[in-house]
Structures are given as structure tokens and as C-alpha cells.
Amino acid sequence: MKLTIAKDQFTAGLQSVQNIVASRTTLPILSNVRMTAGNGRLQLTVTDLDVTVQCTVAAEVSESGSTTLPVKRLFSIVRELGSPELDLEVDDANVCSLRSGASFFKMNGLPADEFPPIPEFTERRITAMPQAKLKQMQRKTGFAVSSDETRYVLNGLFFSLKEHKISLVATDGRRLALTEEEVDVDPDSQREFIVPTKAVQELGRLLQEKGDVEIRASENQVAFTLLSEDGNQALLISKLVDGTYPNYQQVIPKESRERIALIREELLQALRRAEIMTSDKSNSVKLSFSRNQLSITANTPEVG
């Protein structure tokens, strides 16, 4: 394998996939990124066997081929290079030579055929929507996902693709976040599933402000294909959380006696000021409503 690639392209690609790698793993190959070069593209793939992330970037490929290299170390090297381009060559023994300007590195890799196969995804029914819209929805709900491992079914983000809309729901038992957007959902594509926390976090990193995302879900896995305007593509495939999500609609009040309208930015600024006086033990504030006025109070004995 032999290619020339722009440093910025390579850095962005490695940045997109490297977060999947665990700090400790019993299988050395899971610390590596599989690189496949051909047809003017370099495909980067990383997996932890539950979540797989793959992205494609442009490259000048002289010789097609594939290998695997330690992704964290490779990212650290590429990020620190001073020249805008680098040359990468891998021999038959999976030894990688990397040259850029006056810098030269040699790294030992592992054969690409030892890398776990990418999950086969035969589901053809697709729901598409703008990446920016899904990114905003994930940001509005992801914070409420439970971290309590004893409540496994809550350790993920609930997706509902039904009745021409997509709904995202998260709850940890104390708070619940729900957001909905209208999208074109084919009757045959209607689904409900739970995406695990790690996949949700990676999806949030991958989603961009431009381009579309295609969602495909089967009985036990989901795939998000991210299409960008520059022709680069990213793919996230994840196993789903096995279980039935609680009936969250039961806890949402059908009617409310009072509705209060607030200026969003003013409320956020006031909450940030009050938060300064909270602590890890007492991470809460009191909201007191009176006529045309809201008072926000943080009472933490050990702070003030």
C-alpha cells in the first residue's frame, strides 16, 4: 500500500474514529485502525465489537492495499507533523513508513485480515434527515441518559420513527427529555429502538452542520450513514440495547394549569450564575415564581 494524503484530511479522519478504542483491551487488533486504500480514497475503520465507526477521506493512492496500525499512536504522530502532506507506505510485513518534510516514522502493524469483520447490514429501508437537525435533537436529550448499569434499558437514547416524525427520548428516572421533528418515514421503515450511550456519544461527535444522515435499523443493530458535501462519508454501526423502553408518555402531563414563558438566554445566564454556588452534593437550585418574576436560589451550607 502506498499513498499521499493531506495532513488535515488524515487528522480529521483519525479523529473521527479513534474515540472508539478502549484504553485497555485484551485483543491488540482492537487498538488498531484498519486502513484500506484504493480508487483515490482511504477508508479508516475502528471497532470495539459493539460499536464500529468508519470514515472515508480523499488520498492519492499509488498502490492499493490494506493494513492495521495503532490508531492512538498514529493520530499523535500525524497531528504533530509540520508539513501539509505526508507519504505513507506499507510493505508485505505490515511495516508502515511515514514521511513528511524532515520527519520520518516507522511503525509495526498487524494484517488487515485479522481485523474483525464489519457487521453485515442488509436492511434497505432508510430514513433520511439533515445532520444538523439530528445533532440538535441529540444535544437536547443525550444529557438525560441514565448511567445506572442496573437499569440497562435506560442506558441509551430511545429512537421512535413513526407517523412522519422522529422522536428521541432519554430518562434516568428523575428527569426526562423528549424532542420531536417531522421527517419522511416510509410506512415500512417505522421502528423503535434504543441506541447505547457510547454510540450516542460517538454519533454526536460525527454529526456535522451540513449534509444528510441516513438511518437504517434492524432487529439488533442500527446504522447511521453521514454524507458530507465534500464527498467524504462516515458510517456508525452499533448493536442496540436489548429490552423494552418504559412508556414515557405516561409521565408527561396531558394538561397543565399554568404555562410560563421565559426568555431562554436570560434563564440560562441566571442558572449559570446560581450554579457557581452549588456543590456535587447539592447540585440543585430552587425556582420561585411570583407575579412577573422568577427567583433562582442556590442554598449550599458548605458554600454559602
Q: Is residue 120 situated within a structural domain? A: no
Q: Is residue 8 situated within a structural domain? A: yes
Q: What is the pLDDT of residue 32?
A: 96
Which residues of the chain fall short of a pLDDT of 50?
Answer: none
Q: Is residue 241 situated within a structural domain? A: yes
Tally of domains in the chain: 3
Euclidean distance between CA atoms 229 and 212, whole angstroms: 9
Answer whether 190's CB lies under 8 Å from 159's CB.
no
Residues 74, 182: one domain?
A: no
Euclidean distance between CA atoms 282 and 265, whole angstroms: 24
pTM recorded for the entire structure? 0.89
**Of 72, 88, 114, at which residue does a domain stop?**
114
Q: How many CA atoms lie within 13 A of 284 on its CB side?
A: 6
Euclidean distance between CA atoms 136 and 286, whole angstroms: 27
Q: Is residue 259 situated within a structural domain? A: no
Could you say which DSSP state residue 39 is in?
T
Q: Is residue 183 situated within a structural domain? A: yes
Residues 109, 131: one domain?
A: no
Q: What is the pLDDT of residue 274?
A: 93
Residues 274, 177: one domain?
A: no
Cβ burial 19-49 (10 Å sphere, 16+ → b, else e): bbbeeeeeeeebbbbbbbbeeebbbbbbbbe
List the domain range (segments joined by +) for residue 28.
2-114
Q: What is the pLDDT of residue 31?
A: 95
Q: What is the pLDDT of residue 273?
A: 94
Alpha-carbon torsion 183, 187, 188, 194, what sign? Answer: positive
Euclidean distance between CA atoms 156 and 134, whole angstroms: 16
Answer whether 208's CB lies under 8 Å from 131's CB.
yes
Residues 242, 144: one domain?
A: yes
Q: What is the pLDDT of residue 248?
A: 92
